[in-house]
Amino acid sequence: MNPTRVGSVAALEALVGKELGPTDWKEVDQERIDAFAEATEDRQWIHVDPERAAAGPFGTTIAHGLLTLSLGPALMEELLVFEGFAHVLNYGYGKIRFPAPTPVGSRLRMRLGVTSIERVAGGGQLCVTQTFEREGAEKPVCVAAALARLIEG
C-alpha cells in the first residue's frame, strides 16, 4: 500500500473532499478483545465470555466499540503520512457512531475521507471521517470524525 504523503497545510487543502483507502484488512480476534478489556477494565460479558455471549443477541462475543475506534491511528498511517511537520497531535473527535457490531473473528478495514483543514496559528486543524468496514457486512461498524492539529515545522 502506498500512503498519500503530505508535508504542508496547503497539501492537505488539496485533499479536502477526497477519499483515501481502503486499508488492508485487520482481524479482530478474541485475544485482541481480551487484551483491550484488560487494558480498559471493561470486562462486560458480551466482549469476554464466549459461552455466555453465544446465548446473547449476537451469538458470539463482539469487540468493544472503542476498540474499533482505537484502530484508527494505525489504519490512518496506511493511508496518510505527515512529513515535515514539527508536531501532529490527536485533537479529539467530533461525532462518533457504531452502526453495527464487530463479532469476534471479523476483519476490518478503514476508508478515510478528508473532510476539512482549517488554518490555525502555526499550522492547521484537520478533520477526517474514518469509516470502519467489516468484511461481508453492509453497514460500517464505526464512523468517526477525527481531529488532528498539525504544526508546521
In the chain, pLDDT over 90 holds for what percent of residues? 98
Q: pLDDT tens-digit profile of 83-113?
A: 989 999 999 999 999 999 999 999 999 999 9
pLDDT greater than 90 at residue 153: no
Could you tell me the pTM of the whole model? 0.95
Q: Is 128 within the bounds of a domain?
A: yes
Q: What is the CATH number of the domain that holds 82?
A: 3.10.129.10
- Give one DSSP letter per residue of 74-129, joined into a string: HHHHHHEEE-SEEEEEEEEEEEEE--S--BTTEEEEEEEEEEEEEEETTEEEEEEE
pLDDT greater than 80 at residue 124: yes
pLDDT greater than 80 at residue 133: yes
Domain count, the chain: 1
Query: Rounded to whole angstroms, how far apart are CA atoms 113 and 111?
Result: 7
pLDDT mean across residues, the chain: 97
Q: Is 57 within the bounds of a domain?
A: no
Domain that holds residue 145: 4-28+62-152
Q: pLDDT tens-digit profile of 24-41?
A: 999 999 999 999 999 999
Q: What is the pLDDT of residue 1?
A: 73
Query: Rounded to whole angstroms, how far apart are CA atoms 146 and 84?
Result: 21
